[in-house]
Structure formats: structure tokens, C-alpha cells
């Protein structure tokens, strides 16, 4: 009788454990699937972020190279501007004052006037 009762209890425990074991297996499988999917998603995000970081770094490097080129060009323009100003100053120092003027002279006929164009260089004016 005790053996039968022990056997009955054992069967009851075994049959009670079986669904728990199945549930735990299902939970384990679900966690494994979730973990696998999560790992794949995280790997994709990491790869995507790394690609974006690389692209941003490349863009920043390209932009910095362009900025450096512009700064170099501006420096060159400043040098050219200074050189041109020096040439203008040198030329201005060698050129006498030059200007055009118009002289009006009477013709003697009823007060009519004649316009004469003159080019003046360093105070010496000549009709042209």
C-alpha cells in the first residue's frame, strides 16, 4: 500500500513537473530567440552607426580640406592685393598728373564759342 502510494505520488509529481518543464523550455526558447534577434539588431545598429560616423568623419575631413584651401587662397589673394597695391604706388610715383580739359574760345561770329579738347600732362596742355 505504501509502495502504491509512493508510486502514485511519484506519478503525480512527474506529471505535475512535465508541464512546468515544457513551460520552462518554451520560455528558454523564447529568450534564446529574443536574445538572437536583439544581438542581430544591435549589430545592425552598431554597423549603421559606424558607417555614419565614418561618413561624418570623411565629410568633416573633406570640409576641413576645403576650408584649408580657401584660407590658402585668401592668403594668396592678400599677397596679390599687397603686390598690386605696391605696383600701383610705384606707377603713381612715376606718372605726372594727367587730365583732359575743354577750352571754350569765341569764334568772332555773333558770340559763338568753339570747344577745344586738351590733354594736360604735368601742367603742359596741348589741343588734340
Are 88 and 126 members of one domain? Answer: no
Are 54 and 27 members of one domain? Answer: yes
C-alpha–C-alpha distance, residues 51 and 21, integer Å: 44
Question: Which neighbouring-strand residues pair with 100?
Answer: 119
Instruction: Give the count of domains, the chain.
Output: 2
State which residues form the domain around 76: 2-95
| pLDDT confidence bin for 8, thresholds 50/70/90 | confident
C-alpha–C-alpha distance, residues 100 and 90, integer Å: 23
* pLDDT tops 80 at residue 5: no
Q: Which residue has the cell 597695391?
A: 85
Per-residue model confidence as pLDDT tens digits over 61-119: 999 999 989 988 888 888 888 888 888 777 766 666 777 888 888 776 676 788 888 88
Are 73 and 33 members of one domain? Answer: yes
More confident: 59 or 21: 59
Note the pTM of the prediction, 2 decimals: 0.41
Are 40 and 87 members of one domain? Answer: yes
SS3 117: strand
Are 74 and 103 members of one domain? Answer: no
Are 84 and 100 members of one domain? Answer: no
Amino acid at each position: 500500500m505504501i509502495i502504491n502510494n509512493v508510486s502514485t505520488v511519484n506519478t503525480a509529481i512527474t506529471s505535475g513537473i512535465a508541464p512546468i518543464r515544457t513551460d520552462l523550455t518554451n520560455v528558454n526558447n523564447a529568450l534564446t530567440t529574443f536574445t538572437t534577434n536583439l544581438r542581430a539588431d544591435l549589430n545592425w545598429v552598431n554597423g549603421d552607426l559606424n558607417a555614419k560616423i565614418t561618413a561624418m568623419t570623411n565629410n568633416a575631413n573633406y570640409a576641413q580640406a576645403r576650408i584649408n584651401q580657401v584660407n590658402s587662397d585668401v592668403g594668396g589673394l592678400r599677397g596679390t592685393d599687397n603686390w598690386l597695391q605696391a605696383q600701383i604706388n610705384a606707377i603713381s610715383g612715376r606718372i605726372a598728373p594727367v587730365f583732359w580739359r575743354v577750352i571754350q574760345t569765341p569764334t568772332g561770329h555773333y558770340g559763338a564759342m568753339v570747344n577745344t579738347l586738351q590733354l594736360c600732362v604735368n601742367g603742359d596742355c596741348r589741343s588734340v
